[in-house]
A and B are shown apart, each in its own frame.
Chain A
C-alpha cells in the first residue's frame, strides 16, 4: 500500500471507521443526504448539491433522476450504468469536434456567453447551422467558379443540412440564402439549356420588331435576366442563339522569332552625364 498521506507515522485506521467512511463518501458522491448528526457530512452534502446546482440543470437533472435519495448507511458500492440514447445530431457535433472542424468553432462561439452551460459543447443545433452555412457558401463559390455539378451537389447537401436545423427562423434564413444560390445556379446554367427548347427562334424572313422578339419561353428561364437585344436591333437580324461551335485550335504558324536581338546603340555613360 502506498499511502501518500503526509505525516507517515499516523496510527492505523480502525477498519470499521474505514468502512463507514467509505460508505458515507459513496453516498455523498452520488448526491445523497448526510446523516443528521454529522456536521462535516452535512457540509459536504450541501457543497456537493451546490456544485451540481445552478447553471448545469440539464445534464444533472437528465442524468440522475433515477437516484433515490441515498442514506449513507444503506448504500452499497454500485456502478450505475446509464446509457442514454443521444440524438444523432449530438454525434455529428462530436465528430465535428474530433475532426477539429465546425464543432470547435461552435464551442468557441459560445465562449463569451455570461452563463455558459457546458451543454453548449455538444450543441448539435449550432453545428448543424454552421455546417449548412458553410455548404451554402461552398455552393455559391462553386457557382461563381462555374463548377455547376459541384454547385448542384453542394446545394443538395445544404438542403439536407438545413432540414436538420430545428430553429424555424434560422432555417428560414438559411433557406432564403440557399434559394439565392439556386437562382444563381439556374442563371448560370440556363443559357446552355436544352437546344429543343431554344426560345425565340425567329422564322427566317420574319422581320423582328424590337421589344417583341427574343423573349425566352417562360418555362425556361424562370424570370431571370436573359440577354435581350438592345433597342437598336431594328436593322439587325435578331440575335440567334449561337451554337457554341467547337473552335478548332489551329496550329498557328510559328513565326521565326529572332533569338538574338541586334545590338542596339546603348547610351554611353558620357551621354548620361557621368
Chain B
C-alpha cells in the first residue's frame, strides 16, 4: 500500500541521493516487518530479524542501479531480495538450530513494552507463526506480503509472478484455511 511512485524510483535508480534516501525510508518499515514475520523472535526479541532487515536494505541499495534492467515492479524487486535474504537466514538458523532454539525467553534486562505486554505480543506472534506454518509456501508468502508488509494484491502478484486475480483467489483460500486452523491455534501452542 505504500509502494513508492515510479518517478521516485526512477530518480533513485539514476543515483539521486535524496531520492534514494526517500526510497529507503519508504521501504524500510515493510522490509523489517517482512523479516520479522518470517523469522519471528529469537530469545524473545526481533533482533535477528532486524539484522536481516538491515541486510536487505543494504542489498537493495547495492542492487538499485540494476533495477531498471529487470523490468519488474519495484516491490517485486525489493521483496525478491528480501525473500532470498530470509531464506539464507533460515538456512543459517537450521545449521545453528541448537544455538538458536535454546535462546532464552527469560532474563530480559530491558525491553521497552514491559514484560507482560511483550510476552502477550510474543505469544500472539508465536501462535500466528505456528498457524502460518500449516499453509503452503505460496499462501504463507501471500499472507506475509499482504498483511505483514501491506502490499496490494497487484504488488504481491508482481512479486510472486502471479496475476492480481490469482493472488485474490489464493489469499481467500489461505484465509479459509487459516479459519479452519484458528481454533486449534488458541489451544495447542507448542513452546
| Chain A residues with a Cβ under 8 A of chain B | 1-6, 10, 12-13, 17-18, 21-22, 24-26, 28-31, 39-40, 43-44, 46-56, 59-60, 63-64, 77-84, 86-88, 90-95, 97-98, 104, 107, 111, 114-122
B residues near A116, Cβ cutoff 8 Å:
47, 50-51, 54
Q: Do most interface residues of chain A lie in helix, strand or loop, or is the interface mixed? A: helix
Q: Do most interface residues of chain B lie in helix, strand or loop, or is the interface mixed? A: helix
The answer to whether B17 touches A91 (Cβ under 8 A) is yes
A residues near B2, Cβ cutoff 8 Å:
63, 79-82
Q: Which residue of chain B lies nearest to A6 when distances are taken between CB atoms in the complex?
A: B136
Known A26-B1, A91-B17: A1·B166 in contact at CB below 8 Å: yes
B15 to chain A: closest CB distance in Å? 7
B30-38, B84-92, B97-105 - the one binding chain A = B30-38
From 112 to 164 in chain B, residues with beta carbon under 8 angstroms from any chain A beta carbon are 112-113, 118, 121-122, 124-125, 127-129, 131, 136, 138-139, 143, 146-153, 160-163
Known A55-B50, A63-B25: A86·B128 in contact at CB below 8 Å: no
B82 an interface residue at 8 Å Cβ cutoff? no
The answer to whether B29 touches A47 (Cβ under 8 A) is no
A67-B3 Cα distance, complex, nearest whole Å = 15
Q: Can you list the 9 inter-chain pairs with the closest CB atoms, starting with the nearest?
A: A29-B150, A91-B17, A47-B128, A50-B121, A86-B21, A90-B21, A51-B33, A46-B124, A25-B146
Could you list 9 A-B pairs, sorted by A, with CB under 8 Å? A1-B163, A2-B163, A4-B160, A13-B169, A18-B169, A51-B36, A55-B112, A82-B26, A98-B62
- As a 0/1 sequence over residues 150 to 191 of chain B, the CB contacts with chain A under 8 angstroms (1 = contact) are 111100000011110110111111110011001101100000
B37 to chain A: closest CB distance in Å? 6
Most chain A beta-carbon contacts within 10 A, residue among B20, B64, B165 = B20
The answer to whether B170 touches A5 (Cβ under 8 A) is yes
A267-B101 Cα distance, complex, nearest whole Å = 78
The answer to whether B8 touches A55 (Cβ under 8 A) is no
The answer to whether B172 touches A52 (Cβ under 8 A) is no
A residues near B186, Cβ cutoff 8 Å:
39
B82 to chain A: closest CB distance in Å? 12
The answer to whether A44 touches B15 (Cβ under 8 A) is no
B5 an interface residue at 8 Å Cβ cutoff? yes
The answer to whether B25 touches A53 (Cβ under 8 A) is no
Q: Which residue of chain A lies nearest to B34 when distances are taken between CB atoms in the complex?
A: A51
